[in-house]
Amino acid sequence: MNRGLLFCHARGMAKAGLLLLLAISISSYLVACGGTPASSGPVTLTFWSWVPNLQQAIDLFEKSHPNIKIKWQNVGSGGTEYTKLTTALKAGSGAPDVVQIEYAYLPQYILSGKLVDLSQYGANDVKDQFIPWTWAQVTSGGKVYAIPQDTGPMGLLYREDIFKKYNLPVPTTWDQYAQEAIQLHKANPKIYITDFSPSDGPWFFSLLWQAGSQPFVVNGTTLKIHLDDAAALKVANYWGNLVKSGAVSTAADWNNDWYAALQNGTLATWITAAWAPSDLEGFAPKSAGLWRVAPLPQWTAGEQASANWGGSTDAVTTQCQHPAEAAEFVKWLNTNPEAVKILTQKLYLFPSQKSALQDPSFDTANAFYGGQQVNRIFVESAQEVNTSFQWSPFQDYVFSQLQNQLASAVNGKISFEQAMHNTQNAVVAYARSQGFTVVS
């Protein structure tokens, strides 16, 4: 055996030893924590996720964990996946071992009892690697039901060319934003500072989050519901006044007309999240170099309050026959430095991990935004998200009611404030009909 082969053999033996040690360590840890011990033989885990091109991270995991194979399936994003997941969980079969779930929808699956408590498998060991508000979103009653993956801290994308042409400073408060909305539309009736789409409940909820609203306080099956608290009414009335003034568009978003409006300058800003800059590059390529990013306007000058829109987690379902291996996978995928770099720098997910947010390579200049270090604004925003915000265990219903009411308000049938009161009443009634105890 020559020196090269000897070295390779020795390195292989050392690697095998490390893998054996890792397997023994995991098994010992699980026995100590009370979880199901890891299997002694190879296992295959199904993984539902709509993140594109995940296979490159999965290949790395399988290389370092040769006894665990991952069968990745994209069964649809968001609601499409949730419908299939809910059906499978209710049927008692057909659910994946591991599943991607957005923060807003996690509580309903936690309440169903169909997600594995990952604290049995050492999840709390990685707690300090994540920004605090994301960990708060995946825990309940001292248990950990998912590992944070990506986030959507909020910011303001704006057309620098339009703001310069009409001598508008970048707004730092919502009052200033409203004044400039009216000023801009008066100067050029073809331009709106933004649009208010009543069909985007999650976006509206992010505005409530930033304003300090606490629409839900959840303690098991006991709920406090305050969809019309003072902060929520402040946000509703603000947008109601802007819509009434005609200074903002009310066209639906996420369609070809909306993409065109962002590209041709009909819309001068996009109040959005950290994942949006790369999206905008895709559907408004002809506006390259014209956009910039700024912090979200504040309700009180000098404040630094932000919110989150979107982002997701990875959870393990109770139908999984190998929860120890599944827990190892979701922890590895979202904490291994190489995997996180793939997620954030190749797949463009905005990270939930502190190390990724602080990585200098994540803070590069972006030509589409005039060379601005776009991520820096959103990294700062991620530190300013209120950690106590909670979702309901039936967020689909809440969004549908809110969107119906906001649509009526946009059409002038009711006031925006009444829309919030109506949503509150509908959601309280629904919660009680589903067996929840609603307290004040």
Q: What is the mean pLDDT of each run of 10 residues along the chain (440 residues)?
A: 32 38 41 64 95 95 97 95 96 97 96 96 97 94 96 98 98 98 98 96 97 95 97 98 97 95 98 96 96 98 96 98 97 97 92 94 93 96 93 95 98 98 98 95
Q: What is the DSSP annotation of 168-237?
A: -PPP-BHHHHHHHHHHHHHH-TT-BS-B--TT-HHHHHHHHHHHT---EEEETTEEEE-TTSHHHHHHHH
Beta pairing, strands 291-294 & 154-159: antiparallel
How many other CB atoms are there within 10 angstroms of residue 426's CB atom? Answer: 18
- Is the dihedral angle over the CA atoms 291, 296, 298, 304 positive or is it negative? negative
Alpha helices (H) in 284-394, listed in sequence order: 323-335, 337-341, 354-358, 374-382
- Total-model pTM: 0.88
On the CB side of 73, CA atoms within 13 Å amount to: 16
* E-assigned strand segments in 1-133: 43-48, 68-73, 98-102
pLDDT at 24: 38
Q: Retrieve residue 41's tokens.
A: 């033989």
Residues with Cβ < 8 Å from 67, sequence gap 6 or more?
23, 39, 41, 42, 43, 325
pLDDT at 34: 59
pLDDT at 41: 77
pLDDT at 247: 97
